[in-house]
Amino acid sequence: MNRLIFLLLLASPVAAVPVVPNFGSGLVTSHTESKTVVRENIVSESYRSGFEYTVSGTGVEPASGIVSPPVSGNVLTLSDRTQWRQTVPGNAFQFAETLNQPGLIERVSIDRETITETVIDSTSTFTQ
C-alpha cells in the first residue's frame, strides 16, 4: 500500500502558476512622531583646600619683617599675626586684611529640562 501511494506521487505532474500583481500603481504614507524629555541636575562645588591671608594697603608697613601669621598644625594663629603701622603718622593711608579659610567657596546647581519633538511625514509612490 505504501508503495502504491509513493508511485502515485511520482506520477503526478507539477505545474507552477505565475503570480501577477493586480495593481497598476500605489501610494504609501507614513506619519511618525517622537518626543524625548531629558531632565538634568548638574551640581558643581568649588573648595579652598588651604588658607588665604591677604594684606594690602598704601601708607602702611609691617611692624616686623614677617607678614604671614604663624601656623600651628593646620590652624593659623591670628593672635600672633603681624601688627601694621603707618609709614608717616598722620598722613593718608589705606589698609585691608583678609582671611579666607579652607572650605566650600561656591556651589552651583543647575536643574534643566530639554524637550525634543520630532515629526516625520513621508510619502512613497510606485507604479508597476
pLDDT digits (tens, 9 = 90+) for 32-49: 999 999 999 999 999 998
According to the model, what pLDDT value does residue 47 have?
Answer: 96
Q: State the Cα–Cα distance between residues 46 and 117, nearest whole angstrom.
A: 36
Bridge partners, residue 44, by sequence: 108
- Residue 15's pLDDT is 67
Q: Is the pLDDT of residue 104 over 60?
A: yes
